[in-house]
Amino acid sequence: MLYNLTSVPQSLMLNPGADFKYSYYFGVPMLSGFSFKVGSSGFSAYDLFANDGVDFNQKLRKVVNSTTRNDHAAINEQIELLNGGFKLGDWLEDKGYLSFGLYQEFDFWNYVPKDPLVLALYGNQNYIGKSFDLSDISVKAEVLTVLHLGYHKNIADNFIVGARGKIYFSGFNASSTQNSGYILTRPSSTTMYEQIVRSNLTLNTSGVSKYLEDDYNGDTASDVQNQLLFGGDMGLGFDLGFTYYPKKNTQITASILDVGFVKHTKDVANYTYSGIYKYEGINPSFTSTDDPDGVYSDFNEAIKRDTLYNKYTTWRPVKLNASYQYSYGVSKDEDCVCEAGEKPFKNAVGAQLFIMSTPRLPITALTGFYQRNISNKLQLKATYTLDSYSYTNIGLGLSARLGAFNMYFMGDNLLGYRDLSKSQSLSFQFGFNFIFKDSNEPPSRY
């Protein structure tokens, strides 16, 4: 929704090479930008928790049967703590534009562990010879703070480029995405069945383990606050983007965001569950209360649970954006201080492609949009998006100015608001800024 809506300063965060024409701006601290997104492909909350008299286990089985290992649940939240930018040089000597800020982000991603869920729900009786894949287990969560500095410049009348450097401060991280192994039951030539468990499971954590220790006696609230604000693990990243006008009313943009990593070295704990176990017989018991043949102790000896303290690196989810826009209808807004032929267009239509990397397969979204300049103080944007969550995703966005004060509100998948429990995705964002325009500066072409 916010991509390339250049009446809003936060559009620079989605494309550091956006056609942004204001002299300087600053956001209202803690309120300049807030966004929240939640989505689940393949199922909704209603499928699991509907008050329809159907047993939960039955609904869970139905969801598991209807999903694949590539279905997922995701949550993302961002809060801008500080944000600002200003033009370098005057309008006769364009030296580019500098933007900077600080934001906090929470990111969660979990694939449906299809095979382990099938085994847990149905057992192995009807799946003799099937290998239940433990690599289906893939989950990650992180809370971090990002300090950033961006620069963009018109290198030609119709070509703008930009870049943004980022320093990541990871307060908390939990990642289990490189798992492998299987659980297999097959006929045996000597006994009835052979059970094989090959496990290589790892959960990497940083910034978490000290709070789980029995002898922890710190101030949790103070420690968490310090950890989130520059106290966690560090990493580096960058964004790149451009805007190109092949014609005055035609625009092409693209950006790549969050090409970066975090090196986890503080309060690191790696929980592993690795080894190979074989058992010949009918049904081994993996409980310590009933262990006549030493099955439980043999299993624990073969599949070792251990805690290591090795440093590890995580990569940020890389995001790609690209758009094509056609503008038409010259604005007749008399409030615009423009030279002849430089008034912005009133309407624009176009398409945007979004791609994001994930631990397994990239996700994509294709959006068609219509933008309208009601005046130089009020812009509207309507979108229709095809993605992995919905084929009926309609969104609306509003950007308005009152003097130097700017506010924006945007919501996605509006049809889902009729019943949120049945909606597979929800996204909204808003923010408040102060924007100051140089009267000698021509407007962006839209």
Read off the pLDDT of residues 50-103 as tens digits, 9 standing for 90 and up.
888 888 889 999 999 999 999 999 999 999 999 999 998 765 466 889 999 999
Average pLDDT for 127-131: 91
DSSP E strand boundaries for 188-339:
193-206, 233-247, 250-264, 268-281, 303-308, 312-315, 319-330
| Predicted confidence (pLDDT) at residue 154 exceeds the cutoff of 80 | yes
CA distance 246 to 370: 20
What b-and-e string marks burial along 317-345, b requiring 16 or more CB atoms within 10 Å of the CB?
bbbebbbebebeeebebeebeeeeeebbb
Partners of 399 in the beta sheet? 379, 408
Of 17-21, 160-164, 233-237, 241-245, where does mean pLDDT reach its minimum? Answer: 17-21
Q: What is the pLDDT of residue 150?
A: 96
What is the mean predicted confidence (pLDDT) over 353-381?
93
pTM, 2 dp: 0.88
Considering Cα of 166, then 167, then 173, then 175, what sign does the dihedral take? Answer: positive
pLDDT given at position 339: 41
Mean pLDDT, residues 305-322 = 95
- Residues in CB range of 198: below 8 A, 6 or more apart: 181, 182, 183, 276
Kindly list the distances between the CA atom of residue 239 and the CA atoms of 14, 15, 166, 320, in Å, as whole numbers in the listed order: 9, 8, 8, 10
What pLDDT was estimated at residue 341? 39
Domains, the chain, in order of start with CATH, read 9-436 (2.40.160.40)
Report how far residue 247's alpha carbon sits from residue 325's, in angstroms, rounded to the nearest whole number.
11
Q: In this predicted structure, what is the pLDDT of residue 215?
A: 77
Greater confidence, 440 or 232?
232
pLDDT at 338 over 70: no
Is residue 432 pLDDT above 90, yes or no?
yes
* Strand bridging mode 303-308 / 312-315: unpaired
Asked if 353 and 364 count as a contact pair (C-beta separation under 8 A), the reply is: yes
pLDDT, position 340 = 36
Neighbours of 74 (CB within 10 A): 21
Q: What is the mean pLDDT of the chain?
A: 88
Higher pLDDT, 304 or 340: 304
In this prediction, residues 107-122 reach a mean pLDDT of: 94
Q: How confident is the model at residue 42 (pLDDT cuts 50, 70, 90)?
A: confident
E strands, 112-249, where?
A: 131-133, 139-156, 159-176, 180-187, 193-206, 233-247
294/302 Cα distance (integer angstroms): 12
9-23, 190-204, 270-284, 367-381: least confident range: 270-284
Angle separating helix axes 114-122 and 56-66, nearest 10 degrees: 140
Question: Where residue 282 falls among pLDDT bands split at 50, 70, 90?
Answer: low
Above 80 in pLDDT, residue 439? no
437/185: higher pLDDT: 185
The tens digit of pLDDT for each residue in 220-242 reads: 777 777 777 777 899 999 999 99
258 vs 120: CA distance, rounded Å = 37
Task: Name the pLDDT band for 247 (thresholds 50, 70, 90).
Answer: very high
Task: Mean pLDDT check: name the lowest of 35-44, 114-123, 274-283, 339-348.
Answer: 339-348
| Residue 417 pLDDT > 90 | no
294/320 Cα distance (integer angstroms): 54
Confidence of residue 132 (pLDDT cuts 50, 70, 90): very high
